[in-house]
Structures are given as C-alpha cells and as structure tokens.
Amino acid sequence: MPGFELFGDAERKEVNDVLDSGVLMRYGFDGMRQGHWKAKELEHAIQSRFDVKHAQLLSSGTAAVSLALASAGVGAGDEVIMPCFTFVASFEAILMLGATPILVDIDDTLTLDIEAVKSAVTPKTKAIMCVHMCGSMGDLDALKQICDAHNLFLIEDACQAIGGTYKGKALGAIGDLGCFSFDYVKTVTCGEGGVVITNNKEFYTHSDQFSDHGHDHQGSDRGAETHPILGYNFRISELNAAVGVAQFSRLDEFLAIQKKHYTIIRDELSSIEGVTFRTVPEGGEESYAFLNFFLDDLETARKVSQAFKTNGIDVCFHYFDNNWHYIRKWDHLTTQKSVFPLSQEVKEGLSYLKDRTFEKSDHFIGRNLSCLIKLSWTEAEVKQRALTMAKLICEVTA
C-alpha cells in the first residue's frame, strides 16, 4: 500500500485503450468504444474475486459508503452506529443522507467495541457501520448477532482493508453491503474510485440507479432511459476504471509484498518489552496494509512517534494527535460547522457529542502507532527500517 508505487506497463495499456477510443464516460457511446468497457470489466473482476453477485463502481470510497447506506434506505430520522476511530468520510456519508452518526468506543482490535455498540442501539438505529481500520476487522459474528436481534443492516467499510478475510470470507462480503476505496493511497488505486458490493439484488438496483441520476440503465439508448428514483452523480470515469482494472489484477502480488514487509517489521519488534500488537479476532487475517502496535502509555507513544519522525521513519501515524481519523480532533463535527443548515433533527441528534468522552478509545489510540506498509521498499530497506524502529523504541523506553 499504496498501489501507485508499482505503476507500470499494465496500467498504461489499460489507460491507452480508453484514450484510443476517446470515450471517457462509463455509459453510452457504444459505437465508439471499440469494445472497451473498463468499469464493467472491473466490476466483474470484483464480483468474481469477492464471490458476490453485484458490484457497483463509483467515484470514491466516500461515495461508496454514502451509496451503501442510501441503498439500504438509511436517511432522515435514522441513526447509524459507527466507531470514533475512522476517517471523517464515515460520518460525512451519514450526515449527507440526513441521518445521525452515533459514535461509540473502540477496543484493542481498533474497531467497534461490542458492548459499546449494544449500549448505543435505540429505536432510531437503522444500521451498524463497522470500519475495518488499518487493514483488520472487529468481531463480525457479534456484530451480525446484534444486527439480527434488532433488525439492523450491517455495512462494512473495508476501504483500508482490501484483501483481508474473516473465517475464509473476504472483508466487505460479510455484511449486507460492503465498501472499498480505490483512492490514490489505497492498496489498489484508480486514482479516485470506490465500489459497493452486495448479494442483495434490490440494494444493487438502488445503487446502480442512485449513482447515475436515477437512470434505469435499460436498453441501449441512454436518452430514452427512465428515472425510477431520484439520484445523484457518483459515476466513475473510464480512465479511473482502467487504472483499477490493471491494479486489481495485481492484488495478490500487492498483498504478498505487504505481508512480507509487515512480517519482517513485526518479527523485529515482537521481542521488545512493552510492545504489544492489535488484536485480530479468531479466524481473521489482516490485509497487512498497516502494522499496528501499542506502547505502555500515551507519553511513550508520543516520544516514540517523534523519534521516528526525527530519524526518517515516515508514514507511521500516532492517531491520537491526528486531525482526520479520531474524534479528539473533529471539532467541525462536534460544533456542527456546516456551509448549509443542518436539519433540526440532526443538530439535536449530534448534541450528545458536546460532552461525550471516549476514555476507552483514548486508552487504545493514545498508545497506538500505526505504520503503513509500502510496496516499493526493498527487502534490505525493510530490514533496516525494522532495526531502526526497534532501536528507537528501546532508546525511548530505556
């Protein structure tokens, strides 16, 4: 991660196919295409890889999460339970639909704390959004049980975890709908892009139509298509899809590199007293896009993080002090800063954040360092990186 590090002839060929045809839009212009339908090709590859019936390619991962929720009927008056550690797009997608995000604590999986989820369910709850942050998952069996007990939808945000599995099944293919991001810094990139996957035909039809102004996509004359529902524009371009076709075909290659590099670093750090690793639920396998480990306390984590930066250990994040990924720095959400008026229902629904604290999450995020695993490192570079990281941790904690 990220896939752009290994751009090559495969990506150039797919993009040139589109440029040679001159058709950059995923719909219509059948006669000009010279047989190239890159978005459809990538959708079919995704369906096959993840063993799902339907895939809808979109303009971004944020669009994918928004569309997944909308396709399941989430909207005004509804609540969606989500973790307080994620990317800001998670609550943005919920708010865009007029629903209210209900943020809850995480545990040592760095994903939803099951007891916190149980406590957050109300008559307004419509869905639980589990976010597979940094390449790994929470207790999906327990989350499914909660959803079944309360007739809720389970939405998987697997945007950072493509290639991860749970009990032999692909992350993203376990809930009612799953979402992936193909943005520029993901393991598989389209430059910008995302996808929703599902086995539910109705949800797929909703996503297909909603993402393209409500078009029914029936027949071969786009101008004659009807609009069964209201929709918006979340279409991906053929250029972006073309990059994704090449990148997705290389997923196994990318995952193998990630696992190799991850393992070298983890093995080196595992013998250091005071270093522990995130919990991966039994039956789960990470995507190995990130190596996440805990130190003894917040002060130690901050010192190690600074030592890493000072000594050239990049892309290793301390999310406690990060602006994008943890509730602690989301002032724009807690103070409801918006360029357009939020509904009174949403404003009242978010009022709980004014005095809500997340001590359990602080305990885990404050002690956590999350190191992105690059594809472009050589084995020698990874080994040297691991040795340097271990040396710095030992120096700080001595």
Predicted local confidence at residue 65, as pLDDT: 98
Domain 3-250 shares a fold with domain 252-397: no
Predicted local confidence at residue 227, as pLDDT: 97
Q: pLDDT tens digits for 56-70?
A: 999 999 999 999 999
Element (H, E) at 290: strand 290-294
Predicted local confidence at residue 209, as pLDDT: 98
Predicted local confidence at residue 337, as pLDDT: 97
Residue 163 binned pLDDT confidence (cut-offs 50, 70, 90): very high
**Phi, psi dihedral angles at 180 (to 5 degrees):** -130, 150
Residue 312 binned pLDDT confidence (cut-offs 50, 70, 90): very high
Q: Please give the structure tokens belonging to residue 232.
A: 């918006």
Predicted local confidence at residue 278, as pLDDT: 98
172 and 197 in contact (C-beta within 8 Å)? yes
3-250, CATH topology level: Aspartate Aminotransferase; domain 2 (3.40.640)
**Phi, psi dihedral angles at 245 (to 5 degrees):** -60, -50
97 and 334 in contact (C-beta within 8 Å)? no
| Cα–Cα distance measured from residue 253 to residue 235, given in angstroms and rounded to the nearest whole number | 28
CATH 3.90.1150.10 fits 252-397, yes or no: yes
- DSSP H helical segments within the chain, as ranges? 9-21, 38-50, 61-71, 89-96, 114-120, 140-150, 201-210, 238-248, 251-269, 298-310, 331-334, 344-349, 359-367, 379-397
Mean pLDDT along residues 33-54? 97
| Cα–Cα distance measured from residue 131 to residue 67, given in angstroms and rounded to the nearest whole number | 15
Predicted local confidence at residue 190, as pLDDT: 98
Predicted local confidence at residue 338, as pLDDT: 96
Residue 343 to residues 40, 173, 354, Cα–Cα distance (Å)? 38, 33, 17
Predicted local confidence at residue 305, as pLDDT: 98
**pLDDT averaged over the chain?**
97
Q: Please give the structure tokens belonging to residue 255.
A: 């995952």
Map tokens 């993080």 to a residue.
305
Map tokens 């069964």 to a residue.
228
232 and 242 in contact (C-beta within 8 Å)? no
Q: Is the dihedral of CA 298, 364, 332, 234 positive or negative?
A: positive
Domain residues of the chain, as ranges?
3-250, 252-397
Predicted local confidence at residue 25, as pLDDT: 97
DSSP state string for 79-117: EEEEESBS-THHHHHHHHTT-EEEEE-B-TTSSB-HHHH
212 and 233 in contact (C-beta within 8 Å)? yes
Map tokens 């002060």 to a residue.
299
Predicted local confidence at residue 259, as pLDDT: 98
